[in-house]
């Protein structure tokens, strides 16, 4: 019997005040005191081993259905009309990059690429803050523990423990990581522990605000405080994997992945490039949508769930993701709900970074086991608002390393009247905030994997054609999909290519289902002199950005940098 069965309160919608019958609240309090001595759920360890001496109620490895019920019981959120849990993260509705630190200690200090992204903190400050976090957690009336894995390939997985004082964050952790079966749980020994205290606000001169996310690699611990944004939990462990796996010859990747079973592809791309849309293909099964490893056995998902952006989500455009928002077990962050309990995904009054967390098996077309073979194709997605890059191009392995390190896309500048100039965005390895090592480490691993398994790299531009934003037009999704399918299915192997004189990559002259005149971007501009000037500007932006990394990569990779031309 579920140890919390007598608490279950199933309702399609709970009003904002989360009102509950007084008698039931009293009953719950009596029952809670009666069973204070024994942890609820399946205990797979003890909090003392994690340094917490606790007199309250412990909840171990509860299922998500129980946890979301408890979240409503505890006034942490409410249910939508369809049974999804709605929560709010308060002031911080996204990651806090200025509050993220890595402990500078002997075992890791020479491996970390210190700088603006990977900011150091001393050990004394870490242990001081950790003691405050543990003291805060120890004073709570309830703690929630999940013993999980990061990594679907259990030969390479990291056993983790997540300790929360809120039920909804514990439900998030259980959604997002790999859930062990009973046999695995019986032998689970955590190799990294996350101490999560979102309602603890620090006052310490060693950090920048009351919020902090600190990892100590030697201690194998993460402490998080002062932020309720749940994404910090998963991203902190992703950063840990990005440090640990390269030492074992495994490439960690911030990407999505899909497969036919025999044909696997990985998709790298920053926000707005179409990564989620293009990797969702009815003819191919989803391995995962965000974080993966490429090891000896192929590609494997780090996660057991998805953390989807929900802004402007519609049933027509993304029916599978939309359906998850109507399922019990989904956790919705910062979503506006109408009086009938129906989410409005177009309302961004709380934040544009609205999110939904759900287990991957809520997506019908997913790969059971979340693993695939070695990728035949590596896809780099960019949304080039300058209108310079071709809609599809083939890269050499050295060019793949260069563009992997560059992690380029472009966004249109703000919404002020008359401002239409695109803004270039570079994020190394398409996930710079989560990469503790020099990007060259990851690029070398990518090159080695591609060489070993004969993978082909493609750069696909989902952005503008015929001119920059404000002049040209966004590439039609049906053309982008046709080009992608042609690349994945091997239909471009026999076509003729031409070489781009500045960027050096190979552009197909023909592609099934795509007008040939859109394949070469220069030919789509009415003013080709303007194209040349804009292309030179973008080439210079690439080169200026790459100066940060040129000392950590090979001469062959540096040699493929773009070459501006005289106009």
Q: What is the 3-state secondary structure (H, E, C) of 447-501?
A: HHHHHHHCCEEEEEECCEECCCCCCCEECCHHHHHHHHHHHHCCCCCCCCEEECC
314 labelled catalytic: no
Of 73, 222, 67, residue with least CA distance to 133: 222
How far is 211 from 213, CA to CA, in rounded Å? 7
3-class secondary-structure state, position 197: strand
Question: Which of 49, 120, 271, 567 is an active site residue?
Answer: 271
Q: Specify the length of the chain in residues.
A: 567
Catalytic annotation, pick one of 290, 444, 500, 532: 290
DSSP string for 283-340: TBEEEESSEEEEETTEEEES-SEEEEE-TT--TTT-HHHHHHTTSBTBEEES-EE-TT
Catalytic residue from among 95, 174, 284, 371: 95
State yes or no: is 350 an active-site residue. Answer: no
Q: How far is CA 396 from CA 335, 393, 447, 452, 459, in A?
A: 43, 10, 10, 14, 11
User: Is residue 327 among the annotated active site residues?
Assistant: no
355 is catalytic: yes
C-alpha to C-alpha distances, 324 to 231, 356, 358, 397, nearest whole angstrom: 18, 8, 7, 38
The active-site residue, picked from 130, 174, 196, 275, is 275
Q: Is 290 a catalytic residue?
A: yes
In which element (H, E) is residue 549 found?
Answer: none
Q: What is the largest CA-CA distance in the chain?
A: 82
**Residue 566 a catalytic site member:** no
To the query of whether residue 235 is one of the catalytic residues in this protein, the response is: yes
Q: Is 403 an active-site residue?
A: no
Q: From its phi and psi, is residue 249 left (phi > 0), alpha (psi between -120 and 50) or beta? A: left
Determine which one of 80, 93, 273, 276 is catalytic.
Answer: 276
Catalytic residues, by residue number, are 95, 235, 254, 271, 275-276, 290, 355
């Amino acid at each position: 019997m579920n140890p919390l069965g007598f608490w279950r309160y199933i309702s399609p919608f709970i009003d904002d005040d989360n009102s509950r019958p007084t008698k039931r609240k009293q009953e719950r309090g009596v029952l809670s005191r009666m069973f204070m001595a024994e942890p609820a759920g399946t205990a797979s360890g003890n909090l003392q081993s994690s340094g917490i001496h606790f007199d309250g109620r412990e909840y171990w490895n509860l299922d998500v259905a129980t946890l979301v019920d408890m979240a409503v019981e505890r006034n942490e959120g409410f249910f939508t009309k369809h049974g999804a849990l709605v929560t709010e993260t308060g002031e911080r509705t996204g990651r806090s990059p200025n509050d993220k630190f890595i402990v500078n200690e002997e075992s890791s200090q020479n491996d970390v690429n210190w700088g603006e992204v990977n900011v150091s903190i001393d050990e004394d400050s870490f242990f001081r803050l950790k003691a405050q976090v543990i003291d805060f957690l120890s004073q709570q009336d309830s703690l929630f523990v999940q013993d999980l894995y990061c990594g679907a390939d259990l030969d390479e997985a990291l056993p983790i423990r997540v300790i929360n004082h809120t039920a909804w964050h514990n439900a998030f952790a259980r959604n997002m990581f790999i859930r062990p079966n009973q046999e695995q749980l019986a032998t689970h020994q955590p190799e990294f522990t996350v101490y999560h205290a979102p309602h603890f606000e620090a006052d310490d001169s060693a950090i920048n605000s009351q919020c902090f996310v600190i990892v100590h690699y030697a201690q194998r611990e993460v402490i998080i405080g002062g932020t309720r944004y749940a994404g910090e939990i998963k991203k902190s462990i992703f950063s840990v994997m990005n440090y640990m796996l390269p030492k074992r010859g495994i490439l960690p990747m911030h990407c999505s992945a899909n497969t036919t079973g025999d044909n696997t592809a990985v998709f790298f791309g920053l926000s707005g490039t179409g990564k989620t849309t293009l990797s969702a293909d009815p003819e191919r099964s989803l391995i995962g949508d965000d974080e993966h490893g490429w090891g000896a056995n192929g590609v494997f998902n780090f996660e057991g769930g998805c953390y989807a952006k929900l802004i402007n989500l519609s049933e027509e455009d993304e029916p599978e993701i939309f359906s998850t928002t109507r399922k019990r077990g989904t956790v919705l962050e910062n979503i506006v709900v109408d009086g009938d309990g129906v989410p409005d995904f177009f309302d961004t009054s709380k934040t544009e970074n609205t999110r939904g967390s759900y287990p991957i098996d809520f997506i019908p077309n997913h790969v059971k086991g979340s693993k695939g073979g070695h990728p035949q194709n590596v896809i780099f997605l960019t949304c080039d608002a300058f209108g310079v890059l071709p809609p599809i191009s083939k890269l050499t392995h050295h060019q793949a390393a260069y563009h992997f390190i560059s992690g380029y896309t472009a966004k249109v500048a703000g919404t002020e009247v008359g401002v239409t100039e695109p803004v270039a965005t570079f994020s190394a390895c398409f996930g710079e905030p989560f990469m503790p090592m020099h990007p060259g480490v990851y690029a070398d691993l990518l090159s080695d994997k591609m060489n070993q398994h004969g993978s082909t790299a493609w750069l696909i531009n989902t952005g503008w054609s015929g001119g920059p934003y404000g002049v040209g037009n966004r590439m039609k999704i049906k053309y982008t999909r046709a080009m992608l399918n042609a690349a994945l299915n091997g239909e471009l192997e026999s076509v003729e290519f031409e070489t781009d004189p500045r960027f050096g990559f190979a552009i197909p002259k023909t592609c099934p289902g795509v007008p040939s005149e859109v394949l070469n971007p220069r030919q789509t501009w009415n003013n080709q002199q303007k194209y040349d000037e804009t292309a030179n500007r973008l080439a210079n932006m690439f080169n200026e950005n790459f100066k940060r990394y040129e000392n950590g990569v090979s001469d062959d990779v540096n040699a493929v940098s773009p070459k501006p031309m005289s106009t």
